[in-house]
Structure 1
Amino acid sequence: MAQRLLTSGIRAWTRMPVTGRIAIIYLCARLITTGFLVMASALSSPASRFGMQPTIGEYVLGWDARWYWWVAENGYPSQLPLTPSGDVAENAWAFMPVYAYLAKIVGLGDWGAGALLITLAAGFLACLALHRLLRRRIGAAAAMWAVVFFANGPLAALFQVGYAETLFLLLLLVAIDLASRHRYGFLYFLIPVMGFTRPGILAFALFLGLHGIARWVRRRTEPLPVRDMWHIVALGALATIVGFSWQVIAAFVTGDPGAYLKTELSWRRNWLADPSPDFFPFEGFVRGAEFWFTQWGMPAWAGLIALIALVTGAALALLNARSVQRLGVDIRLWSASYLLYLLAVFFPQSSTFRLLLPLTPLVGALAVPRSRTYRWGMLLACLLLQWLWICAMYSLAQTYWQVP
């Protein structure tokens, strides 16, 4: 009897449309995350940033969500705020406008409600886009498991708080899929929206350049029409222009040519006693490696060795790992482009885990092994890491390494 019920249940599941299956997976994942947030609230102490027993609504509006809300309500400052020492202070120019204003529109003035609706909807659509992106590369079953890992992953709380990451990721997955299918026309719309949702469009510009080179190398086996060449060049130029345009806008409004970069660098003073007043590519990760290893009681040079090892390991995985190779050239090129972008512009700290979300297509590599024990074990690992992340960033939320 039980065997018959199980068999009929499996048949019903496999006959269900893909959208329906993903909807059920996503709903179950969101219920689990909600449970984790309720547990985090119950464990929250007076020492936490959120105080005793915060509501889930307070979590939705916590951390960087406050900055997006501020942008929607007050816009961007025409004068950069300064610290008592005369340095540029943290301010709204670090946060792009699309998500901020869209949440206010969707919420009919209630920014928190709009932000939650956008992240929830974008997360579901991102699951659909991820399955579409991976299905023809690793197969339908593995693609569905990739969706399971993604919806329940360590950073799944981002589907339920006021951050722009989920909306950006949805746009990104669609953009990668369009580029890989050589349907370039829609990218003229997507690129500006992506570029004003959150930082990262310059990595997409690099990806388009590498994508064009890869198509040129394969032109004898995979035709490269002249119109596609022009599209790739034009889109790369558009992504580059959009990527630098926010700096130009900030400079124009504030009258300070370095307004945006100074704003971004202001956050580094939370970790470094003597941050550089000017931006230099790759300096953030170098200084960060030295900082964290000295915090852990080790010499700074050990951090540099670890950084070199980390970069080398990531490069080898993208080049040689069979499960990653199965994802195809475009996903690997995007991953390499984004990792290089992170190395060039960011300072490594607890938010770096969140900044890795655009590497989501690589989750397909984790779904390739077909062992049932492996897949269920991977799901349990995802849920455990999700709880640990929520507990640290929302329940404890007491110190400098607990910033999502």
Structure 2
Amino acid sequence: MFLWLRHEILLQGLLERLASGEVIIGDGGFVFALEKRGYVKAGPWTPEATVEYPEAVRQLHREFLRAGSTVLQTFTFYASDDKLQNRGNYVEQKISGQKVNEAACDIAREVANEGDALVAGGVSQTPSYLSCKSETDVKAIFRKQLDVFIKKNVDFMLAEYFEHVEEAEWAVHVLKESGKPVGATLCIGPEGDLAGVSAGDCAVRLVKAGAELVGVNCHFDPTTCLKTIKLMKEGLEAAHLKAYLIAQPLAYHTPDCNKQGFIDLPEFPFALEPRILTRWEMHKYARAAYDLGIRYIGGCCGFEPYHIRAIAEELAAERGFLPVASEKHDAWGSGLAMHTKPWVRARAQQAYWEKLVPASGRPYSASLSKPDSWGVTRGDKDLIQQKEITTENQLKEMFEKQKIVSGM
């Protein structure tokens, strides 16, 4: 019989928990969830909501905690100074990156203290790197965020969402200055990073840079991400290196994505809902991740609290308890036995939901998409960032390229 919550537990650090065999459950995607709720602007995807709408951020943290998350990431995705002033963004000038990052740390810590959760201070890829700025310049950007994380005493550091392992290495170098544990995740698929470095070599480079925890996040679905992590694991084994593994994929099916992931899908970002994984598919993901040896299992864009609850429920036996949110969710739909309709009561069984193949509801709907394969990466003139808002002429140029590439 499971306890709903663990009580009288000595709070330990990330590495101590992992070393003891504990399964760490991450949280989900903040920018997508808060965009849908009206607190984040699609396009810049920056986290000024920590200052402008702190209660919205606080409530989402609280929902993930209730669903079973044992790590709350500070909402500092794309919170670097250069991103907060990129292409007309007002945040750096009107609010400041420091205030955004400080508020993110305060909110995450407040909610983490309501349960048995750790706080992770996170940095992500920068416009400066994509614009070919120097290693010194890029590291200076990371260091500004690190100063806040040190001041606010987060529990560990996470370099996440990097398309190029080189930039992730630079981030790890900086985050190691904190003396805290450091994790690093790349948004890559089985083909490796955008510079052509294999998944296995990426893992080796991150561990040699100092990361104690490596893996992938975002850009791809659980199936693809686990394939990538398997390659990373094999790379580490071949190099006789050890690290804990972390998986935080999308909550969207992406079998038709190319090397750059879901950003290339024509549905990105406003029409991805038909691709969302069900809670039952999250059970399969959690089990497959655990069987692969991954002990930090969470999610990224598209992950809502009920997805995290599914992970916690699938791994309840290994963890020894269920999350609070399971009080209103009986295992495998067994609560449907209370339904008034007999055909719905007949669905109160695991066998039904495990075998179900959901319909799209759209007549003649496409099963797959043709990704936009523009083939641009670091150094391409279209990726060079600017403080000024994108001009009408620049947009027209993009529209014309889109016609050529997509055949419109």
Tell me if TM exceeds 0.5. no
The structure having more radius of gyration, on CA atoms, is 1
Is the helix fraction higher in 1 or 2? 1
TM, length-normalised to structure 1: 0.30
TM, length-normalised to structure 2: 0.30
